[in-house]
Amino acid sequence: MDMFLAGKVAIVTGGASGMGACVARMLAEEGARVVLTDIQEEKGRAVAEEIGRAGGDAHFIATNVSRRHAVKALIQETLARYGQVDIVCNIAGPGAHIGHLDTTEDEYNRQLDGHLRGVFNCCQAILPHMMERRYGKIINMGSFTAYGAVASIPAYCAAFGGIIAYSKSLARFAAPHNINVNTVSPGNIYTPMTAGWLDQPGTLDVLEKQMPIGRVGRPEDVAVAYVFLASDRARHIVGADVNISGGQLIY
Ligand SMILES: NC(=O)c1ccc[n+]([C@@H]2O[C@H](COP(=O)([O-])OP(=O)(O)OC[C@H]3O[C@@H](n4cnc5c(N)ncnc54)[C@H](O)[C@@H]3O)[C@@H](O)[C@H]2O)c1
């Protein structure tokens, strides 16, 4: 199925690694011109170069999405290069492994800033441009942890609860401007963020046996939803949260 993404311009945050890199690759395969951004400069440039070698159009711009002025600069540089932004995929965010009693103020801020504030900054910065063009697709990363009561990572769960609520509010605001805002909520996905845990002997096998679908997700399982929601095929989808957890969480 043609997703009609040829010529579209997409910004992908967290594009240096895991699901962000996969979304960037898949959007480029569909013909979109992609600006990847991340705090990991070397890895981000490598992904952009790899996309270029495969025949795609990709460019890396280093940005910390929790910094408002940096996000504004990212948008300005993208517009100067490509003249438009059609799609924003907010995927950047830090991993977590600190429990309720051990969560320091710094860790709380790291989670809320890296996830929720980053999404807010990127959405707010791109809205005037999308509203002026009366066109836009915004797809924010959610997580099953917003629903699944994971006791071990409280600030991470809170950040994703915030992203999903914020995205629904934004979806209602943006739809009259022909801007579709949606979220995608994966279950456990095997990426550099989770590899340290899933690569421990026996862990992946045990989890795969527990998964209703019998496998742990891979970045491409999530990236396909991004590509679909970024396309006009999904023009009537507004404020949805797509559960991509292989049945790990059904709600
Ligand atoms: N892997 C999972 O099981 C899973 C499940 C649900 C949601 N998520 C979320 O999906 C997103 C992608 O995760 P992943 O598993 O691909 O992890 P990953 O670590 O491979 O990729 C995350 C990327 O975000 C970047 N990043 C972090 N903070 C940033 C910031 N402030 N500004 C710019 N870039 C920043 C990192 O440098 C990294 O390249 C994250 O937000 C994560 O919390 C992951």
What confidence tier does 97 reach under pLDDT thresholds 50, 70, 90?
Answer: confident
Is residue 251 in some structural domain?
no
Distance, CA of 196 to CA of 35 (rounded, Å): 28
Confidence of residue 40 (pLDDT cuts 50, 70, 90): very high
**Average pLDDT of 16-30?**
98
CATH of the domain at 98: 3.40.50.720
Least confident of 68-72, 134-138, 146-150, 156-160: 146-150
Quick: pLDDT tens for 78-94. Answer: 999 999 999 999 999 99
As a whole number, mean pLDDT of residues 224-248 equals 98
Q: How many domains does the chain have?
A: 1
pLDDT at site 182: 99
CB 158 within 8 A of CB 111: yes
Ligand 1 centre and the CA of 132: distance in Å? 30
In whole angstroms, give the CA distance from residue 168 to residue 210.
31
Residue at 247 is within a domain: no
**DSSP state, 170?**
H
Interacting residues of 59 by C-beta distance below 8 A, sequence separation 6+: 33, 34, 35, 36, 48, 81
What pLDDT score was predicted for residue 251?
86
Percent of all residues in the chain with a pLDDT value above 90, rounded to a whole number: 97
90 CA → ligand 1 middle, Å: 10
Mean pLDDT for 26-32 is 98
Would you name the residues annotated as active-site residues?
156
- Over residues 22-42, mean pLDDT: 98
The confidence band for 2, taking pLDDT boundaries of 50, 70 and 90, is confident
Residue 52 lies in a domain: yes
Instruction: Of 226, 236, 244, give the one whose Cα is nearest residue 180.
Output: 236
Instruction: Determine the average pLDDT of the residues in 2-26.
Output: 97
Evaluate whether residue 48 is within a structural domain.
yes
**Nearest atom within ligand 1 for CA of residue 44:** 39
Q: Give the closest residue (by CA) to ligand 1 atom 1.
A: 189
Nearest ligand 1 atom, CA 144: 6
In a domain, 246, yes or no: no
pLDDT category at 1 given cuts 50, 70, 90 is: confident
Residue given tokens 């046996």 in the structure block: 209
**pLDDT in the model for residue 155:** 97
Residue 139 in any domain: the answer is yes
Q: Does a structural domain hold residue 123? A: yes
Instruction: Give the C-alpha separation, 79 to 227, whole Å.
Output: 21
pTM: 0.98
Domain assignment present for residue 248? The answer is: no
Mean pLDDT of the chain: 97
**Computed from CA positions of residues 91, 95, 99, 102, in that sequence, does the dihedral angle turn out positive or negative?**
negative
Domain that holds residue 175: 9-241
Residues 6+ apart with CB under 8 A from 248: 144, 148, 187, 188, 211, 212
Q: Which protein residues are within 6 Å of ligand 1, measured from CB?
A: 13-14, 16-20, 38-40, 63-66, 91-95, 114-115, 118, 141, 143, 186, 188-189, 191-194
Query: Which of 89, 191, 215, 249 best tests ligand 1's pocket when mutated (most atoms within 8 Å of CB)?
Result: 191
